[in-house]
Amino acid sequence: MTAPVGLPLWLLAELTYRCPLQCPYCSNPIDYAQYKEELTTGEWFAVFDQARQMGAVQLGFSGGEPLVRQDLEELVAYAHKQGFYTNLITSGMGLTEARIASLKDAGLQHIQISFQASDPTVNNLLAGSKHAFEQKYEMSRLVKQYDYPMVLNFVIHRQNIDQIDQIIELCLELEADTVELAICQFYGWAFENIEGLLPTKEQVVRAERITNEYRKKIEDRGIKCKLIFVVPDYYEERPKPCMDGWGKIFLTVAPDGTALPCHAARQMPIEFPNVRQTPLKDIWYDSASFNQFRGDEWMPDMCQSCPDKERDYGGCRCQAFMLTGDAKNADPVCGKSPYHYLIEEARINSETPTPFEELRFRNPKNSKLLSISQEQLIPTRTVTD
């Protein structure tokens, strides 16, 4: 069945892959260091114009660290004038009171700050920066003072999951309105480090129980703080409807202008189009890469005949590719997949994790080293536009 193509309601502008931090779970591509030609301010304006004309309403500014772009305020102001709802997804590094104020003046509506841990030492070790925790803490306070909705994000993994109660306490101290406790999704650097980051099932169950207990306490105390707990795919038996379906509502533009249906898709053996050469409308509606996994014709037999295919679209294409080498396979998270044993093996391996010291941190040197070994693994490209 060929599904009608929807509108790209959600635009994610990955302004840069540059970032002062080195999180070992970063979702940027392993080979990010090789992409240097960032879109200019004017090129981003053209992307916003086209996306807005096509019906996009939400615009997330992310990276890397979007604050390293000195034109961020200009980009926000332009997007705001175009009528986008704008959201800044930041580590807080590079934020100052002056920038919080100027972003507010530019019309920014939402800032989400990420922390690595509630403990300053662990936070700074994971971030690869001595001052990260202090900076994040101070900026979170200021963001609140400037009357933005206070959204904090913690990527939860083996190295911080047992401190979930301290993490929630920190969020309450900072008067967060919304807290995302998202257990690591294993793409990019997180996949590279899965053996040191995947928590055990017992740890996940405990963390969810404590989160539920806090939800009750928060309600009883009349505090307005929403806790969102995201269970990792690796402890599910059915896959998630990744990105709400390939090329359905999400459109990501990478720093160099490569257009992607999902920020993790760049690792796949697909030649994605670039906004520098192709109008966004042609990319969204007509490109081979955006059409490749729309509808259900591409699905394997087990998904074609499955009643759940309208709910999960066969799961995540990136995960199918990473784990099985073929993006057309069903997501191995599915208990019916012949590759589900790979997920079960990862669960078993989580009982004997690799130590913290063996994590590969996201930095240009590791990016160069790891992309050399990856190139040898990736099969020849299969689709071109």
> Which residues contact ligand SF4 (rule: CB under 6 A)?
19, 21-23, 26, 28, 63-65, 91, 238-239, 302-303, 306, 308-309, 312, 314-315, 330-331, 334, 336, 362
**Which residue's CB is nearer to ligand SF4, number 23 or number 251?**
23
Q: Could you tell me the smallest distance in angstroms from the CB atom of residue 187 to ligand SF4? A: 11
Tally Cβ neighbours within 10 Å of residue 295.
15
The answer to whether the beta carbons of residues 260 and 246 sit under 8 Å apart is no
Q: Which is nearer to ligand SF4, 94 or 353 (CB)?
A: 94
Our CB check for ligand SF4 shows the closer of 28 and 287 to be 28
Residue 106 Cβ vs ligand SF4, minimum distance, rounded to whole Å: 22
The β-bridge partners of 252 are 12, 260
**Contacts of 60 by beta carbon, 8 Å cutoff, 6+ apart:** 10, 11, 12, 13, 87, 88, 89
State in angstroms the smallest separation of the CB of 361 from ligand SF4.
Answer: 9
Tally: H helices and E strands in the chain: 16, 9
226-230 and 85-90: which strand pairing? unpaired
CB of 323 to ligand SF4, least distance (A): 13
Q: How near is the Cβ of 370 to ligand SF4 at its closest, in Å?
A: 14
Q: DSSP assignment of 171-213, as one string?
A: HHHTT-SEEEEEE---SHHHHHTHHHHPPPHHHHHHHHHHHHH
Q: Closer CB to ligand SF4, residue 7 or residue 68? A: 68
Q: Least separation, in Å, of the C-beta of 316 and ligand SF4? A: 10
Tokens, residue 105: 């003046």
**CA proximity to 262, closest of 27, 68, 91, 36:** 27
* Between 32 and 44, CB nearer to ligand SF4: 32
What gap in Å lies between CA 246 and CA 69, rounded to an integer?
Answer: 29
Query: Are 117 and 124 spatial neighbours (Cβ–Cβ below 8 Å)?
Result: no
CB of 359 to ligand SF4, least distance (A): 12
Sheet with 85-90, side-by-side order of all strands: 226-230, 178-183, 150-156, 110-115, 85-90, 58-62, 10-14, 250-253, 259-260
Cβ nearer to ligand SF4, comparing 256 with 308: 308
Q: For the CB of residue 241, give the shortest distance to ligand SF4 in the complex, in Å.
A: 9
Per-position b or e across 20-50, b if 16+ CB within 10 A of its CB: bbbbbbbbbbbbbbebeebbeeeebbebbeb
In the complex, the smallest distance separating the C-beta of residue 312 from ligand SF4, rounded to whole angstroms, is: 4
Using CA atoms, how far apart are residues 300 and 293, in angstroms rounded to an integer? 12
Contact 50, 13 (CB under 8 A): no
Q: Please, which residue, 265 or 334, has the CB nearer to ligand SF4? A: 334
Q: Which residue type does 25 have?
A: Y
Closest contact distance (angstroms) between CB of 65 and ligand SF4 is 5
Q: Which residues contact 307 (CB under 8 A, 6 or more apart)?
A: none
Q: Which is nearer to ligand SF4, 225 or 266 (CB)?
A: 266
Strand pairing class (226-230; 58-62): unpaired
Residue closer to ligand SF4 by CB (options 29, 273) is: 29
DSSP class of 287: -
**Please, which residue, 287 or 329, has the CB nearer to ligand SF4?**
329
